[in-house]
């Protein structure tokens, strides 16, 4: 986009608007000034909260109960331009990235249906964002998915739900091998054991002690193997109470 020939080509179209819908790259300021009526971005959070990358994952990892879609003008700073409209969506406790994206898509349709006629008429609102009341998060990497049994079972669950399919997945280690935890749930039980200790194997899966509460693993996958129901995994790999999960 910084190539003068590319910019000249874009300018030749004499655009009224530019729209960025989940485009992964920042448009330079000289490109943002080309459209006569502004360049707008559709962002997957309730701005100014969760500016930056991977907002749908971050809200799940952080245990939020609400997020949404925001349509805003683009400026040099990411997700900082004036707001046109936004639509909130609730986050269910067992929300996954896929189910949350489905909600955000529907919210995006509502926002665009309301905003496009106003933008074309030149009457769309411009609400300044107070960035001091917001938050910014960077991109996530596969290594950010490591579970920490010194956390609460609830916090570990939020990480699992935030990075499960189609993302790289949350993981721990069993006998030095990476063990992906694709699903589970926190249990309100006293662990009575050091964090990371396998407490029990049940028809639902296997229970792991956390610093607070117990985490029930229901679907998992040892590296270089296929994903399985946790109870079957325990039978195949000899997982029994007293075994320890943790770092490599």
Q: Tens digits of per-residue pLDDT, 170-225?
A: 999 999 999 999 999 999 999 999 999 999 999 999 999 999 999 999 999 999 99
- pTM, two decimals, is 0.93
> Where are the chain's structural domains?
4-137, 143-246
Pick the CATH number of 143-246 from 3.90.1150.10, 3.10.25.10, 3.30.420.40, 3.40.630.10: 3.10.25.10
Residues 56-72: tens digit of each pLDDT: 999 999 999 999 999 99
Which 3 state secondary structure label does DSSP give 145? helix
H-state helical runs in the chain: 4-12, 29-32, 55-61, 97-121, 153-163, 230-237
Geometric angle at alpha carbon 206, from 200 and 208, rounded to 5°: 75
| Residue range 109-135: mean pLDDT, rounded | 96
pLDDT band at 24 (very low <50, low <70, confident <90, very high): confident
Strand partners, 39: 18
- Asked if 74 and 107 count as a contact pair (C-beta separation under 8 A), the reply is no
Extract the tokens encoding 189: 């039980």
If you search the block for the tokens 């997945």, which residue do you land on? 169
Domain 4-137: top CATH class: alpha beta
């Amino acid at each position: 986009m910084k190539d003068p020939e590319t910019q000249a080509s874009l300018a030749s179209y004499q655009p009224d608007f530019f729209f960025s819908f989940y485009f992964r790259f920042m448009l330079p300021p000289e490109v943002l000034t080309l459209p006569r009526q502004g360049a707008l971005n559709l962002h997957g959070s309730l701005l100014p909260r969760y500016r930056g990358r991977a907002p749908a994952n971050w809200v799940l990892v952080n245990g939020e109960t609400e997020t949404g879609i925001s349509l805003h003008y683009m400026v040099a700073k990411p997700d900082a331009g004036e707001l046109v409209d936004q639509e909130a969506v609730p986050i269910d406790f067992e929300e996954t990235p896929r189910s949350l994206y489905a909600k955000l898509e529907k919210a995006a349709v509502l926002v665009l249906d309301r905003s496009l006629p106003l933008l074309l008429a030149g009457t769309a609102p411009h609400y300044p964002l107070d960035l001091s009341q917001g938050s910014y998060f960077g991109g996530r990497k596969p290594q950010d998915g490591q579970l920490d049994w010194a956390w609460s079972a609830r916090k570990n669950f939020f990480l699992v739900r935030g990075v499960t399919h189609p993302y790289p997945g949350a993981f721990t280690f069993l006998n030095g091998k990476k063990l992906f935890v694709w699903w589970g749930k926190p249990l309100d039980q006293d662990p009575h054991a050091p964090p990371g200790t396998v407490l029990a194997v049940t028809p639902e899966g296997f229970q792991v002690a956390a610093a607070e509460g117990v985490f029930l693993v229901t679907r998992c996958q040892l590296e270089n193997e296929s994903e399985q129901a946790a109870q079957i995994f325990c039978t195949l790999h000899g997982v029994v109470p007293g075994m320890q999960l943790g770092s490599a």
